[in-house]
Chain A
Amino acid sequence: MTAASDAAAWVLLIPIGAAAVLAALPGYRLTAGLNILASLSTFLAALSLFVLERPQPGHYLLVDDLNIVFIVLNTFVGFTTSVFSASYIAHEIETGRLTPGYLRFYHAMYQIMMFGMNLAFVSNNIGLMWVAVEIATLTTVLMVGIYRTHAALEAAWKYFILGSVGIALALFGTILVYMAARPVVGEGQDAMVWTLLINQAATFDPALLNLAFIFLLLGYGTKVGLAPLHAWLPDAHAEGPTPISAVLSGLLLNVALYAVLRFKILLAANPYAISPGPLMVTMGLTSLLFAAFMLYRRRDIKRLFAYSSIEHMGIIVFAFGMGGPLANFAGLLHMVMHSLTKSGIFYAVGHIAQVKGTQRIADIRGLTETHPVLGWGLVVGVVAIAGLPPLGIFMTEFLIVSSTFARQPLLAIPLVLGLLLAFGALMLRLTGLAFGEPEGNAKPAEASYVPMFAHFALVLTAGVYLPGPLVVWFQHVASLLG
């Protein structure tokens, strides 16, 4: 075992250990602090992966260029969300929406969820990856329903049922991949090990791979929130605690996306299989356009941003579907930017909903007057998510649109249309939320602004300046994606 494989193991061990401890410990302050500490150390462990020499991929664990991006992002947002969560949950306990008993449950689940997601990233085994994704899903289901209100239970239930179907479809796809691999790679464990699969993917049976990809795309696509498989997503975002909304949008969607990408690479390695591009492009565009229209009629602030996540997932899937160095680079960067921005927005939205006592958009007005920091934070976030410069998403949208138009002009038109529609809807709501004659509670918010602004600062920096090594890294990953 090298140091790095240790680090990869730590990324898994810290959360699961912390979960066990947190499930046992009482007291809010202590557990929240511990939660932050655990998340921070996971993040540090993930960072150390960068520095340390990579281990040879084993049967179960793998650290390569592709997943390290995801892991670091995942643990980072996990860490900042735990900071945000501390102040958010404090307020929830004050107002009595959550009881201390549930708190213990909440923190334990949080760490298990982190474990599940990290596992999904580092696993070198498609079966293990499937299991990990399911762990992450099930824990989030429980967290979504944690408020026990009518709406929360309904949302959790819907998430559960649709998620389960997704699980089943993904499993079927995984089995099909195994079936395709078995004659070539051999029976047993080996035929599920990613690194072995990809080496020999060219000789797999294409028909099986095709079929597998459809099931995987739909199965994991349900998690990604691609329309029309998205139905669970808005409600789950809206009814759960906001830290969970942030994690769902910022991380869980990435996990599922990562899975789709892995299989896309696999399929791309086989010259006889269908090219996954058109499927992904279609799904991406559908999601983008659909979500763009759905944004117009939203009345709930968290649902609004949930739909915006669907929109962005559409863009990312579209970009990966287009393929090529530019689009893949943009897709990766977009994913990172979206995670950071969207979770940042949810931090703002969480505090806004708490201080205003409502999630109804119509009841929130003039935030920049009553709560300047939150209000302007929201403005920055929405401006970023809508793809305005100088923030990061602008750069990625620039690359995606311009490279698409040069290659497939006809595809660029719906893309641009969707972007514009979504932009219009988001700005319409932003105008109502942040500006105008103030309405509702104006008491100062007790919020932790650090996570929100940390995210936005990163996004801003990335929009103007990307460090060279990072770019080289991303370009390499983009070339891996084909």
Chain B
Amino acid sequence: MTSAVAQQLWCVATLLGTTVLAIATSRSRRSTAIVYGATLAISLIALSRCLPVLVAGGNATELVLPVGLPWLGAHFRLDALAAFFLAVVNLGGAAASLYGLGYGSHETAPHRVLPFFPAFLAGMNLVVLADDAFTFLLCWEFMSLASWALVMAHHREADNARAGYVYLVMASFGTLALLLAFGLLSGAGGGYGFATMRAAQHSPSEAGLVLALMLLGAGSKAGLAPLHVWLPLAHPAAPSHVSALMSGVMTKVAIYGFIRVVFDLLGPPNWSSAVVVLVLGSATAVLGILSALMEKDLKRLLAYSTIENIGVIFASLGLALAFQANGLGLAAALAFTAALFHILNHSFFKSLLFFGAGAVLSSTGQRNIETLGGLIHRMPLTSFAFLVGCVAISALPPFNGFASEWLVFQAILQSPDLPQWGLKVMVPAVGASLALAAALAAACFVKAFGITFLGRARSPVAEAAGEVDRCSLAAMFALAVLCFLAGILPGLVIDVLSPVAQALLGHRMPVQASDPWLSIVPIEESRSSYNGLLVFVFITATASLAVYFIHRFASHAIRRGPAWGCGFTDPTPAAQYSGVSFVQPIRRVFGTLVFQAREHVEMPPPGDLRPARLKVEMHDPVWEGLYAPVSGAVWFLADRLNQLQFLTIRRYLSLVFATLVTLLLVLAIWS
């Protein structure tokens, strides 16, 4: 009987083998089925092997392979935290593989997707398993690289190529930040093993620096503002099931890195570091969802919404840090569990939504929601699954998104126990911004679902759309069911997550399974409780009651007629509200401040038959405020220095001469 970690590594090895297989069979027509079938099977096996570790909460198993850094070897370790993230990865992987079985047949360049897909999965699994800095970073970058290759699958579109470029540079930036963090953690002696780092003492300033670097490194991968700019470019560029993996799973792996270092390796946190995480998290949440609202590309919208959720998760982790720093173990466990729960939930519904977007894309060839509409009639099943995803991500009961956000809010309500005034005052403000983000998320997904699936078709392709294949639907419905189950049975999920909190924080939330009626009670019943199951039962019961009474006692008659347009019935679908017009009120309220949104009306002079046009001008504050100047500076310097390529030999000699004289002068002064 091999140990749990060895089993996981065998799964990874099989995944890498699948990559080789994919290259070997790239000419074959059956390649798609073979590869996705294999990844589906492997993911499910890996999932089934890691869940026992999570539930049983057994001891961590370790393994050292004689690869990687020669004097260290590659350390792997499977503990509760790793098991949880492995579960997230492999669940997402399995769903994406299932979806890929159907969606992959639409792929125009399968040889650019199939080899990298299993490699990407393998990379994510390995990051979670790694137990020394070198292996961790190696796998981390390998994961980035594989996903980059997937982003570049449709490289002929200039936008995708740019997206891939920005992505890779940001990934590299993040890795370098992590590298520095690990350099600091390992010390000059090069103690790269996580066990060594865990045992070492870190001074407060060092710990602060490591945290900052982790925020840069893991944050850039996860999409923390202002390092998120690559995310809305890269995630949509990949094939949809890969987008789902990137958004739903890879960002979580980044968060895993953050948790592993900050909660596990760094030792007891400092409350001031929590402030930074809280501020960044809540700012990311609001900025992310506002950007999502302004977006009309469905996949980009989803990517921005990922940023929002990452913000929520980070805010929650910040709370956990704040409580942990003050020795409030129970509250810390609550916040931490809330973060983990949200991680799980987000991986469910974001994958589901990306699958839906992929279904729309493969059925209509469109990602721009302004050209869609009325798909609920033509893709009823897809639209139902997508609706479930929308409700879940909007944090509405009784679905899972609400359960985790509710826990976050409960954690925020523990803030009076914090001794620091700064935190006392700040945490409610964080709560306000999270509430704002949640409300805006609902608005955003009303828009996303409403414009895409409701109303009348805005283009011929939307008119001609059809339902997608069974595998895709099966993947979507599986996730929808998971969203629902996690929503009505949150207590069970919390109990599964508790060992992770116990292992990292030394505290856990109370056991929920024993509570009556399966409700969740974070602290005690008189303070707060929530029961998704009952809420669901109540709503169903009352709604059924209403339906019963009405159909029993009231009129059944239905007459179909044209929609009423106040006397101006306009048959063209263009008269409907568009996505841009839908968000106009919100754009006016928030956009003028955040995006410097301006509306210009171009009114043709009287007699001119051209239509009047309303133009909306928006600026991305992060890109224009941070990235454009940096890239401008780089190009400016590159231009300046480039003149050195065109000097004459005499000038080159002068350079040599000047260097010589300088060094001699230095020597004369120094020695």
Contact = CB atoms under 8 A, between A and B. Distances in A.
Interface of A: 157-158, 161-162, 165-166, 169, 206-207, 210-211, 214-215, 217-218, 222, 228-229, 231-232, 234, 274, 279, 290, 293-297, 324, 326, 366, 368, 383, 386-390, 394-395, 397-399, 401-407, 409, 412, 416, 419-421, 423-425, 427-428, 431-432, 435-437, 463-466, 468, 471, 475
Nearest to A475: B71
B593 interface: no
A421 B631 CA distance: 10
A424 B164 CA distance: 12
Contact of B183 (A214, A395, A405, A421): A405
Contacts of B139: 389
Contacts of A397: 179
Given A421-B634, A424-B634, A466-B70, A229 B655 contact: yes
Contacts of A437: 156
Contacts of B66: 465
Interface string B629-671: 0000011011101101101010011011011100110010011
B638 A464 contact: no
A401 B156 contact: no
Given A158-B652, A403-B188, A466-B70, A210 B142 contact: no
Interface in B139-164: 139, 141-142, 144-145, 152, 155-156, 158, 161-162, 164
Interface string B58-84: 000000001111110000000000000
A211 B655 CA distance: 19
Interface stretch (B168-176, B242-250, B353-361, B524-532): B168-176
Interface in B382-425: none
B186 interface: yes
B655 A210 contact: no
A211 to B, nearest CB: 7
Contacts of A290: 641
Of B67, B144, B189, B652, most buried by chain A (CB within 10 Å of CB) is: B652
A405 B645 contact: no
B52 interface: no
B188 A214 contact: no
B134 A398 contact: yes
B70 A394 contact: no
B20 to A, nearest CB: 13
14 contacts: A158-B652, A206-B671, A214-B663, A214-B664, A228-B656, A231-B647, A234-B645, A294-B642, A297-B645, A388-B144, A401-B176, A412-B183, A432-B161, A475-B71
B307 interface: no
B9 interface: no
Contacts of B670: 274
Contacts of A421: 634
Contact of B656 (A229, A366, A412): A229
Contacts of B492: none
Interface of B: 66-71, 133-134, 137-139, 141-142, 144-145, 152, 155-156, 158, 161-162, 164-165, 168-169, 172-173, 176, 179-180, 182-184, 186-190, 192, 634-635, 637-639, 641-642, 644-645, 647, 649, 652-653, 655-656, 658-660, 663-664, 667, 670-671
Contacts of B656: 162, 165-166, 218, 222, 228-229
Contacts of A324: 188
Given A290-B641, A421-B634, A406 B184 contact: yes
Given A231-B652, A296-B634, A420-B169, A435 B68 contact: no
Given A158-B652, A394-B141, A402 B667 contact: no
Nearest to B670: A274
Contacts of B192: 402
Given A158-B652, A420-B172, A465-B67, A398 B667 contact: no
Given A388-B145, A402-B133, A431 B641 contact: no
A162 B653 CA distance: 7
Grouping DSSP codes into helix (H, G, I), strand (E, B) and loop, the A interface class, with mixed when no group exceeds half, is helix
B168 A427 contact: yes
Given A162-B652, A279-B663, A294-B644, 18 more contacts: A211-B664, A218-B659, A232-B652, A293-B634, A297-B645, A389-B139, A390-B138, A398-B137, A401-B180, A405-B184, A420-B176, A427-B165, A437-B156, A463-B138, A465-B66, A465-B67, A465-B68, A468-B70
A402 B190 contact: yes
Contacts of B69: 395, 399
A211 B653 CA distance: 20
B156 A366 contact: yes
B176 A389 contact: no
Contacts of B141: 388-389, 394
B180 A412 contact: yes
In order of increasing CB-CB distance, the 10 nearest A-B pairs are A402-B183, A405-B183, A435-B155, A296-B638, A231-B652, A471-B70, A297-B642, A228-B655, A406-B188, A389-B138
Given A228-B659, A431-B164, A390 B667 contact: no
A214 B666 CA distance: 10
A398 B179 contact: yes
Contacts of B134: 395, 398
A207 B155 contact: no
A428 B448 CA distance: 34
Contacts of B162: 431
A141 to B, nearest CB: 14
A294 B165 contact: no
B664 A402 contact: no
Nearest to B642: A297
Contacts of A228: 644, 655-656, 658-659
Contact of A383 (B70, B145, B655): B145
A424 B180 CA distance: 19
A435 B161 contact: yes
A389 B139 CA distance: 8
Most chain A CB atoms below 10 A, which of B66, B188, B664: B188
Contacts of B671: 206-207, 210, 274
A407 to B, nearest CB: 5
Contacts of A386: 172
B155 A436 contact: yes
Nearest to B192: A402
Contacts of A232: 652
Contacts of B649: 157-158, 161-162, 231
A231 to B, nearest CB: 4
Contacts of A366: 155-156
Contacts of A427: 165, 168-169
Contacts of A428: 165
Contact of B169 (A206, A294, A406, A423): A423
Nearest to A397: B179
Contacts of A412: 180, 183
A407 B184 CA distance: 9
Contacts of A294: 638, 641-642, 644-645
A230 to B, nearest CB: 9
B527 to A, nearest CB: 46
A471 B142 CA distance: 23
Nearest to A157: B649
B210 to A, nearest CB: 11
Nearest to A474: B70
Contacts of A420: 169, 172-173, 176
A471 B71 contact: yes
A436 B176 contact: no
Given A228-B659, A229-B656, A406 B172 contact: no
A428 B182 CA distance: 28
B67 A464 contact: yes
Contact of A389 (B71, B137, B647): B137
A427 B642 CA distance: 19
B161 A214 contact: no
A324 B152 CA distance: 40
A387 B145 CA distance: 11
A407 B145 contact: no
Nearest to A472: B70
